[in-house]
Amino acid sequence: MVNILKFFAVFGDYIPSPPKPPRRPDLKFRLLFTFAALAIYFAMASVMAYPLANYNIQGIQLPTLINVVFASQQGTLAQLGIGPIVTAGLILQILAGAKILNIDMSDPTGRRLFTQSQKGLAIIIAVVEGLGFAIYYRLNLPFTLAIFMQFFLGALILLSIDEAIQKGWGIGSGVSLFILAGVARTITWDMFAPVRIPGTDEYHGFIPYLIQGLFEGRLSNERLFYGLSEGVNRTLPSLTGFIAVLILSIILVYLQSVKVNIPVTTQRAPGIRTKVPLQFIYVTNIPILLVGILFSDLILFYNITSAHLDDSVPWLSQILSVMITYLAPPNSLLEIYVNPFRILIYSVLLVGLAVLFGYMWVEIAGLNPAAQAENLIKSGLEIPGIRRNPKVLESLLARYIYPLTVLSSIIVALVAFTADIFSAFGTGTGILLAVGILQQYYSTIAYERALEAYPLLKRFIGE
C-alpha cells in the first residue's frame, strides 16, 4: 500500500507548495493572513464561473448539508469547496487507522509521504468532481472545458491556502476556516438577507421580514414560528430557528468543555498524581458528519438518477425515492404532527447510524482503548493500583471509552435532529461544526497570546 501512497504523492509533487516561514510570524500577522484567506474564499464563493452567469444556467442542486460541510457554493469558483481535501483526508486517515496503510507517522519521511499523497489524492478527486460538474451543464466542449478549469483552479487555490495556513502563515487550518465561513455565511444570509422571495413580497432574511411585518402590521404566525409562507415550498428563516441556534450553541459550548478525568501517575515521580482528560463528546462531530454525508450522497444520487435514468431504470429511482423519504431531514416543526411516522424512522436511523459510525471511527482512528493504553505506556504514565500491562490498562479504559463513544454519538445526533426539527439557521451539522471550530480558534489564540506575553514559556515547551 506504500506504493499507492507514492503514486498519489507524485501528483502532489507537481503542484507547488507554499514555503514554510523561516521564522514563526507574530500573532498579528497570522491573524491578518487568516482574514485575507477568508476574504479570498468569500470572493471565490461570490464569483460565478464563466459563462454560467451570462446564460443564467442552473447546475446540479446539492443537498444543503454538502454545501455546509464542504464550504461549496453552486456555480461559483468555490463549487468544489474543500470537498476534495476533506474526502482525501478521510480516506487516507481511515486506511491508516485500520492499519491498511503501514506508515510510521512518527518518522518525518513517513509524515511527508502521507501529506503529499493526501495532496495528490485531493487533486485527483478535484479533477473528477470538477469534470463531473462541468459535464452536467451540457454545454459545448469549449464552455465545458472552461467551466472545468475554473472549478479545478478554485479547488487548487483553496488547497494551497489550507497548506499555507497549516505551515504557520495563518491560524488553525484552512479546512476549519472555510467550514466556519460557510456556516457563518448561511446563518448571516438567513438572518439579514434583504432580498424578496420570488412570487411574494416577503423578505428572505428573518430580521428584514420582522421589521417589514412590524411596520406593516402583518406578521404571520406560520412564518414567525414555523418558517412557512403561502406559495413557498421550502422552510424560511423563523424566530424558532433563531432561538434554536442560540440555545443549541450554548448547550454545545458547555458539553464540549466537560471532561472525564482518569487519574494517573508518572514513573519519574510516582507520588505525584495528575489526570488525563477524556472529552465528554469523545467522538466530536465525526459520526453525524459521516451520517449527513451518507444521507446527502443518497439524495444527490436520487436527483441524478431521476433526471437521467428515470425512463431506462425506473425501479432504481423508485427504490431511492422510498429511501430518501425517510432519510431527508424534517422540514419544520409541523412535520411532527403531519408525518410523525417518517420523523420517528428518520430519528431512529440517525441515532443508530451515528452510534455505528462513532464506534467505527474510534476503532480506526486510534481512539480505542488499546491505542490509548499504548499511548499511556509510551508516555511513561500509569494508573494508580493498575499493573503496567497493556491488556489490563485496555480493559480499564474500555469502561470509560466505549460508554463515552455511545453516549456522545447519541448526543450529537440528537442535537443535529433538534436543530433540524426547529429549522435552526445553518443546519444542525453546521452548528455542531461551527461551535467546535470556534472553540478551537479561541483556545489557539489564547495559547498564542500567552506565548507572546510570557516569552519564557517558549523555552519550556520547545517553541
> What share of the chain has pLDDT > 90, as a percent?
3
Question: Is pLDDT above 60 for 457?
Answer: no
Distance CA(99)–CA(102), nearest Å, equals 6
Band the pLDDT of 334: cuts 50, 70, 90: confident
Provide the CA 14 distance to its chain's centre, in angstroms. 28
CA–CA gap between residue 88 and residue 84 (Å, rounded): 6
Quick check: 107 pLDDT over 70?
Answer: no
Give Cα 55 to chain centroid, integer Å: 32
C-alpha cell at 439: 472553540
Contact 16, 117 (CB under 8 A): no
Contacts 24+ apart (CB under 8 A), 324-332: 324/295, 324/298, 324/299, 327/295, 327/298, 327/299, 328/295, 328/299, 329/295, 329/420, 329/427, 329/428, 330/420, 330/421, 331/234, 331/235, 331/423, 332/226, 332/227, 332/228, 332/235, 332/423
Task: Tell me the pLDDT band of 10, cut-offs 50, 70 and 90.
Answer: confident
- Across the range 276-283, mean pLDDT stands at 78
Check residues 331 and 460 and name the one with the higher pLDDT: 331
207/190 Cα distance (integer angstroms)? 9
pLDDT at 459 over 60: no
Q: Give the mean pLDDT of 237-258.
A: 87
Phi and psi torsions of 455, nearest 5°: -60, -25
Enumerate the CATH 1.10.3370.10 domain ranges in the chain, comma separated. Answer: 2-12+20-187, 248-461
What pLDDT score was predicted for residue 63?
A: 66
Q: Which helix (H) or strand (E) holds 276?
A: strand 273-279
At 269 the pLDDT is: 53
Tell me the CA end-to-end span of the chain in Å, nearest whole number. Answer: 35
- pLDDT given for residue 399 in this prediction: 82
Mean pLDDT of 39-64: 77
pLDDT at 153: 92
Q: Which of 39-43, 97-101, 341-345 has the lowest mean pLDDT?
A: 97-101
pLDDT tier, 32 (very low <50, low <70, confident <90, very high otherwise):
very high
Tell me the average pLDDT across 228-242: 80
Which pLDDT score is estimated for 322?
A: 76
Region 248-461: CATH code: 1.10.3370.10
Diameter of the chain measured on Cα atoms: 75
Q: How many CA atoms lie within 13 A of 116 on its CB side?
A: 22
Residue 309: DSSP 8-state: S
CATH number (1.10.3370.10, 3.40.30.10, 3.40.50.150, 1.10.10.10) of 2-12+20-187 reads 1.10.3370.10
Q: At what angle do helices 428-453 and 27-44 cross, to 10 degrees?
A: 160
